Amino acid sequence: MAVLATDANRKIIEQERQAHLRREAKLEGEAQDLSKLLSGVAITIPRKAGENDQLFGSVTANDIADALAAEKYTVERRRIHLDEPIRTLGEHKVAIRLHRNVTAEVTVNVTREE
């Protein structure tokens, strides 16, 4: 909304801007801390697969979020960046965008379900 550009209103706007910058800095610091914790995390997801290591189905961001939750890491599914779902067995690097300036990478090991 527009307000008159009085000295009092300018001070209020500046205080709101400073509060916003402090909140952003706090969120980015928390994201940095979580990134350090997640950097060494490797999760294993068992799936049924065919003879040439193709999965019957796929591993999605929701599956990865559930596996991280089982390891006591709470990450929203929408923060997990997959260009496309994982459809093969093996080790895959997955980016997790914790903040617009902070990204963590976890290792997802997709194994054959026994």
Q: List own/partner pairs for 60-64 with CB under 8 A and 24 or more apart.
A: 60/85, 60/86, 64/94, 64/106, 64/108
Within-domain flag for 55: yes
Within-domain flag for 2: no
Within-domain flag for 72: yes
Domain that holds residue 40: 7-112
| pLDDT at 1 (0 to 100) | 67
Residue 90: which residues within 8 A CB-CB, separation 6 or more? 53, 109, 110
pLDDT per residue as tens digits for the range 23-44: 999 999 988 988 898 888 999 9
Which amino acid would we find at residue 24?
A: E
CATH number for position 45: 3.10.430.100
Other Cβ atoms closer than 10 A to 56: 10
- Between the two ends of the chain, the Cα-to-Cα distance in Å is 61
Within-domain flag for 40: yes
Within-domain flag for 1: no
Within-domain flag for 89: yes
Residue 71: which residues within 8 A CB-CB, separation 6 or more? 41, 43
Contact assessment for residue 93 and residue 82, using Cβ atoms and an 8 Å cutoff: no
Domain count of the chain? 1
pLDDT per residue as tens digits for the range 48-103: 988 888 888 899 999 999 999 999 988 899 999 998 889 999 999 999 998 888 89
pTM of the model as a whole: 0.77
Within-domain flag for 107: yes
